[in-house]
Amino acid sequence: MRITLGVKLTLTSTLLVAIVVTFLGYLHAANIREQHDAWSAERSATFRESAVRLAENSANVLAISLSEHLQGTELEQLDFVVHQLVARDARVVFVRLADQRGKVLADSVRKVSAGSLETLPGTPAELATPLEEETIVDGRRILAVRRPITLAAAPGQPTPTPIGVILFGYDLTPLDEQIARLDAQQAEATRKSLGFSLKVGGLALLAGVLLSLLQALRYSRPIRRLAQTTARIAQGDLSARVTIRQNDEVGTLGDQFNHMADRVQQLLVETVAKAELEHELALAREIQMVLVPGPGTHTAPGLEVAGHYEPAAACGGDFWDLSALPRGRAAILIGDVTGHGVPASILTATAKGCIDTLRHVHGENMQVAETMRILDRVIHEAGHGTFFMTASAIVLDATQNALFYASAAHPPGLLLRWTESGIKLSRLSARGNRLGDGESSGFEARRIRVVKDDLLVWYTDGLTDAIDAEGRTYTARRLLTTLSQIDQHAHPEQIVAHVVADLNAFRGGTPLEDDVTLVVGRIT
């Protein structure tokens, strides 16, 4: 069975009030008992002190007035004295007078005969010592007080001279009756205290229950509304909000809950938008990957080519293209749009479409410089002067062993030729501005003779500008070193794999900051 929060608060508050009331009642009863014990102790002490004072005073008086009688045989006078002492104080049960040896000379209880004197228990030295002890006589508690009767010390004597002993017997029954009355009063006071505590405790308990019920309702209702609103949000009603008008922690909780609900709704909207964007980016990436030749070795008249393309983001701004032209010609174009992402990928698709159109229109008459000029105008118009592209255009005429190339501010291509004296390196540099600047007159077309097994390499600056964990760049020098280590008969695909492996080892997992494109061709 599930217990609601309101019931829990009520039970907890009620239990707390009951504990407090019980504790206070216990303290009150304990205080009454403590006062009674103090009064009883005080009465007993007072009774004993009065008994001792009477005994001591009597001993002092008798020492002066009856010193001769205690040392003689005039027992009638002593008997008269003890009966007077008993008659004067109702608390005195008996009085006995004895000499210093303990011989009883007078007894208020029975007549003493001079011929048969009783002896008090104890030696003379013990009888000379004061004593208070309780005993039972005829079923009554008796306090026996013994005091020595002494004469003042004579000159030259260090201590007083004992001449007798007086023994008083005090009845403790009146004291017991007083203590019994005090016990009865204490019991009555305790009963009244408990009754009062129960009444006050009942009222406090009732008030506590009512207050706890009010507080339970005050807090359980908004919490219940919070739970109901949470259930609505869980069922898909993201517009659900809770209204709590309390200036306390529950009100703050309601405000924070509404703020959280706003954030959740906003995050869900953003998540949907992000998912749609990621879907669009995935489509754009798939489309862009179609724009570049796939992995493996590709052939064209007089040429074997392999390439590697790795975007830095979901969509990149690099691309490369290989196409076969009529009459033993082949064309390669590699480009790098400034930046990366969706805008760059759109611009690469535009450039790819333009190149395909030029290839179909011009065919065997496709010229590298003219291609650059047309691309410059297209990108200038498409990018509105805010996006630019570096590129290299290459046309191989296998019938003439001639390579025509033009550049638009792109890293120069490399031609590696193995000779008897070693590797000969040529940089395929040509003057040209960026595509998109709109200055179509700035492109220079160059021609170079090629032979069988010549190695052609083109790349984008994302390759040479890649950094490692310490911020060092890969550099074109390292690329040349890596290329110089390959076998002269290695296939383009093997060379691409070798360079990419060296680049990844250099980066050590550091993310790319720019797209990487590498194209390797070998003259066949």
Rg (CA), the chain: 62
**Contact, 381 vs 407, CB < 8 A?**
no
**CA–CA dist 329, 415 (Å, integer):** 18
Q: Mean pLDDT score of the chain, rounded to an integer?
A: 86
Residue pLDDT, tens place only, 86-135:
888 888 889 998 888 888 888 988 888 776 778 888 888 888 889 989 88
Dmax of the chain from CA atoms? 176
Question: Any idea what the Cα angle at residue 312 is, between residues 458 and 477, rounded to 5°?
Answer: 40
**Contact, 376 vs 408, CB < 8 A?**
yes
Measured in whole angstroms, how far is the alpha carbon of residue 66 from the centre of its chain? 93
Residue pLDDT, tens place only, 32-83:
788 878 888 888 888 888 878 877 887 777 766 766 666 666 678 888 888 9
Residue pLDDT, tens place only, 145-170:
998 888 776 666 677 888 889 899 98
- Cβ-in-10-Å burial (0-12, 13-18, 19+) of 139 comes to exposed
Which residues, 6+ apart, have CB-to-CB distance to 2 below 8 Å?
Answer: none
The yes-or-no verdict on residue 139 having pLDDT over 80 is yes
pTM to 2 decimals? 0.53
